[in-house]
């Protein structure tokens, strides 16, 4: 079972920031938080991951709370092409045979 909890859906206006929350209250000390997204009928796309510090790349920012029990993915200026299902996943690194355990994710709808 997925170790994360996400709201099933969120709406965002184009050009505004989209803030997607994730709860992972049982995360272990060596587990990272990963975010992927899946645009309709395509393969999931890696977005970003982090351990305890905030991370930023060209796609998004990841804010992890100090107790690491929750995190927020931020898309700073959402566009229509950001409409997708967003998955928050916790996973320990470098474990042979470990898989990404996907929950149902958050369906983000960006509208003009």
Partner 1 sequence: ETGVTQSPTHLIKTRGQQVTLRCSSQSGHNTVSWYQQALGQGPQFIFQYYREEENGRGNFPPRFSGLQFPNYSSELNVNALELDDSALYLCASSLTNEQYFGPGTRLTVT
CA dist 59 and 71 (Å) reads 16
Best CA proximity match to 68, nearest among 28, 14, 10: 28
Residue 50 in contact with partner 1, rule: CB under 8 A: no
Nearest approach, Cβ of residue 94 and partner 1 (Å): 7
- First-to-final CA distance of the chain: 36
CA dist 97 and 111 (Å) reads 39
Asked whether 112 and 14 are in contact (CB, 8 A), the reply is: yes
Q: Which stretch binds partner 1 (CB under 8 A): 8-16, 22-30, 65-73, 99-107?
A: 99-107
Residue 52 in contact with partner 1, rule: CB under 8 A: no
By beta-carbon proximity to partner 1, the closer residue of 96 and 112 is: 96
Torsional class of 104: left (φ above 0), alpha (ψ -120 to 50), beta (otherwise): alpha
Q: Which stretch binds partner 1 (CB under 8 A): 7-15, 17-25, 64-72, 91-99?
A: 91-99
Nearest approach, Cβ of residue 16 and partner 1 (Å): 26
Determine which residue in the list 1, 43, 58, 81 makes contact with partner 1, applying CB under 8 A: 43
Provide φ and ψ at 80, rounded to 5°. Answer: -60, -30
Residue 39 in contact with partner 1, rule: CB under 8 A: no
Interface positions with partner 1 (CB under 8 A): 2, 32, 34, 41-46, 49, 85, 87, 91, 93-94, 96-105
């Amino acid at each position: 079972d997925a170790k994360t909890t996400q709201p099933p859906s969120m709406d965002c206006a184009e050009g505004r920031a989209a803030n997607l929350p994730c709860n992972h209250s049982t995360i272990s000390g060596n587990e990272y938080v990963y975010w992927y997204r899946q645009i309709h009928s395509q393969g999931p796309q890696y977005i970003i991951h982090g351990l305890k510090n905030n991370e930023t790349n060209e796609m998004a920012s990841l804010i992890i709370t100090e107790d690491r029990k929750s995190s927020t993915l931020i898309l700073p200026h959402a566009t229509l092409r950001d409409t997708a299902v967003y998955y928050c996943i916790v996973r320990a690194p470098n474990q042979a045979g470990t898989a990404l355990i996907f929950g149902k994710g958050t369906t983000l709808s960006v509208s003009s």
